[in-house]
Amino acid sequence: MAGETFNITFEFINGTIDKVTGPYGVGRKIGAQDIKFKTSTYGLPFVDDAIDTTDPNDPLLVKCYMIIGGYKVQVPCS
């Protein structure tokens, strides 16, 4: 999937990000369970791999996420 193009949209309320939507749906706010996700030294988001074990047919399915404005959004892995 290298080189794949996808869109991420933002919704703002009073100049603050209120909602982030990626190619797989709406992102969710980062919570205490996501403590491993941190921003770079430049304050920019990064893509991190996470193991999703909620699918009983494929418990080692790898999903990739981008952290944007405090929201975790699933994106294509490359």
Indicate whether 1 belongs to any domain. no
In a domain, 59, yes or no: yes
Higher-scoring residue by pLDDT: 1, 70: 70
Return the beta strands (E) in the chain as ranges.
9-13, 16-22, 25-26, 28-29, 47-52, 61-68, 71-75
Model pLDDT, residue 25: 94
Domain span at residue 63 reads 9-35+44-75
2 lies in some domain: no
Decide if 26 contacts 19 (C-beta within 8 A): yes
Question: What tokens does 75 get?
Answer: 């994106």
Total count of domains within the chain: 1
Most confident by average pLDDT, 4-8, 53-57, 74-78: 4-8
Residue 1 above 50 pLDDT?
no
pLDDT tens column, 61-74: 777 778 777 788 88
pLDDT digit string, tens, across residues 9-49? 999 999 888 999 999 999 988 776 666 655 555 454 555 55
